[in-house]
Chains A and B, each alone.
Chain A
């Protein structure tokens, strides 16, 4: 028993010293990894939760990657949709314009066809324009072309060449184009100037600034009483016959859609035969 007591005491002092050393040296930082390992081995809650956590991390990484790919696809889709949206805005604008034109056409006494401007003469924009309707659409030569602007129908030219699916319009602003026109108290000749104004000359009668100029009742170039523009400048001369005026008319940038009136001043011989 004494031997055992000695051993016991010896062990007690040894273990006491060791445990004191543990406490004094504060070796927690050295054993934390072992503690973690122990917790992992002996505490299934810990291990299960850790495994779950790792699974969650793995799943989250997968989700992140998936989201990244989806995000890129969505960005692409977004860009496509935005580009379409721009188109839609333009289409919406055009639709409104066409809608207005259709509404106005109801109050317009001439029948005809709406057509879209597809080209202008780049060197002289006020000389010719091209329309997207042609012979197949019922467009004929000499058909007057009008445009709606500032709540009025303005004559801008007439068809001078008709092709299968498109046609060419000579504008009234072309220098080779002239026709008789009226104001409320005068009559004269309108001549093109390759600009957004016309020259009103050989005037018989009185004119004043702001007078509306419209197609004459005696002209066979256009149907009567279609607006051409208004007088914005009078060039006086000692000789009354040399009086001239500048007539402000359409601007080529405003012309997107036109209305081709089904009206012909002349009847071609071919058509005559057919009739």
Chain B
């Protein structure tokens, strides 16, 4: 199942990179899928998904190779630690969580690139990207939750 989601992620990433973008911006489909997988899937498939999504992102984006993998792995780890204490069923907390996570990831990757590659290059348009991402995240979340029904766990 995760493999199908992975393929879907690659497909949508390709699709949105093909579509004409606005202000040189297109939704970060990889992050949307990673976010969704980590919050709505079990930890083991989620970290596996994050790892391979990170690898894909590393191949896709021209950054220091491994920076996306590391970021997504750490993101997966952090989410796994805190997700039981975060409300994601309501729209506003979920949106805030998503936007904060997205900004944090962007900043983390930028700093990591600066440390590893020694060059600081930041496209300031990416600071608008999370606002676009949240819109698409809601769409994908709806579709994915419909297709791959979330298993409800009873909190112990």
Asked if B76 lies at the interface with its beta carbon under 8 angstroms from chain A, I say yes
In the complex, what residue of chain B is closest to A47 when comparing beta carbons? Answer: B18
A177 to chain B, nearest CB (A): 100
B86 to chain A, nearest CB (A): 18
Chain B residues whose CB sits within 8 angstroms of the CB of A22 once the complex forms: 58, 65-66, 69-70
Interface centre among A4, A5, A28, A45 (most CB of B within 10 A): A28
Chain B interface secondary structure, helix, strand, loop or mixed?
helix
In the complex, what residue of chain B is closest to A41 when comparing beta carbons? Answer: B14
Task: Identify which of residues 10-42 in chain A touch chain B, using a CB-to-CB cut-off of 8 Å.
Answer: 11-12, 15-16, 18-23, 26-28, 31, 34-35, 38-39, 42
A15 to B58, CA, bound (A): 14
Task: Identify which of residues 99-156 in chain B touch chain A, using a CB-to-CB cut-off of 8 Å.
Answer: 112, 116
Q: How many residues of B contact A (CB 8 A)?
A: 30
In the complex, what residue of chain B is closest to A6 when comparing beta carbons? Answer: B44
Asked if A8 lies at the interface with its beta carbon under 8 angstroms from chain B, I say yes
Chain A interface secondary structure, helix, strand, loop or mixed?
helix
**Are B76 and A42 closer than 8 Å at their CB atoms?**
no
Chain A residues whose CB sits within 8 angstroms of the CB of B51 once the complex forms: 11, 15, 18-19
A: contact size bracket: 20 to 34
A256 to chain B, nearest CB (A): 78
Asked if B13 lies at the interface with its beta carbon under 8 angstroms from chain A, I say yes
A9 to chain B, nearest CB (A): 9
In the complex, what residue of chain A is closest to B11 when comparing beta carbons? Answer: A42
Asked if B36 lies at the interface with its beta carbon under 8 angstroms from chain A, I say no
**Are A23 and B44 closer than 8 Å at their CB atoms?**
no
**Are B70 and A23 closer than 8 Å at their CB atoms?**
yes
A18 to chain B, nearest CB (A): 7
Give the A-B pair count, Cβ closer than 8 A.
79
**Are B17 and A12 closer than 8 Å at their CB atoms?**
no
Asked if B62 lies at the interface with its beta carbon under 8 angstroms from chain A, I say yes
**Are B43 and A5 closer than 8 Å at their CB atoms?**
yes
A71 to B115, CA, bound (A): 55
A236 to B44, CA, bound (A): 137
Asked if A210 lies at the interface with its beta carbon under 8 angstroms from chain B, I say no
Asked if A7 lies at the interface with its beta carbon under 8 angstroms from chain B, I say yes
Chain B residues whose CB sits within 8 angstroms of the CB of A31 once the complex forms: 58-59, 65
**0/1 per residue, B10-21, Cβ < 8 Å to A?**
100110011000
Chain B residues whose CB sits within 8 angstroms of the CB of A20 once the complex forms: 66, 70
Known: A15-B73, A26-B65, A31-B65. A45 touches B60 (CB 8 A): no
**Are B59 and A38 closer than 8 Å at their CB atoms?**
yes
**Are A35 and B43 closer than 8 Å at their CB atoms?**
no
Task: Identify which of residues 76-101 in chain B touch chain A, using a CB-to-CB cut-off of 8 Å.
Answer: 76-77, 80
Interface residues of B (CB under 8 A from A): 10, 13-14, 17-18, 42-44, 47-48, 50-51, 54, 58-60, 62, 64-67, 69-70, 73-74, 76-77, 80, 112, 116
5 contacts between A and B (CB under 8 A): A12-B76, A15-B47, A18-B51, A18-B66, A39-B60
